[in-house]
Amino acid sequence: TEIGWPSAGKLGIPPARAADYASQTLLTLRSLGYVHGAWWYNLYDKGTDPADQELNFGLLTEDGRRKPAFAAFASVAQLVQQTRSVERLPAPGSVWALRFSLGAQQDDVLALWSSEAAPGRWQAAVSGASARVRSQRHTAMSAMPASPALRLDASPLLLTIPAAQSRSMQLQVVPTPPG
Work out the average pLDDT over 171-175.
91
pLDDT bucket at 146, cuts 50 / 70 / 90: very low
Q: Please give the model's pTM, rounded to 2 decimal places.
A: 0.87
Residue 108 has pLDDT above 70, yes or no: yes
Euclidean distance between CA atoms 79 and 75, whole angstroms: 8
pLDDT of residue 136: 62
Q: Which helix (H) or strand (E) holds 72?
A: helix 68-82
Predicted confidence (pLDDT) per residue in 54-93, tens digit: 999 999 999 999 999 998 888 899 899 999 999 999 999 8
Work out the average pLDDT over 36-61.
92
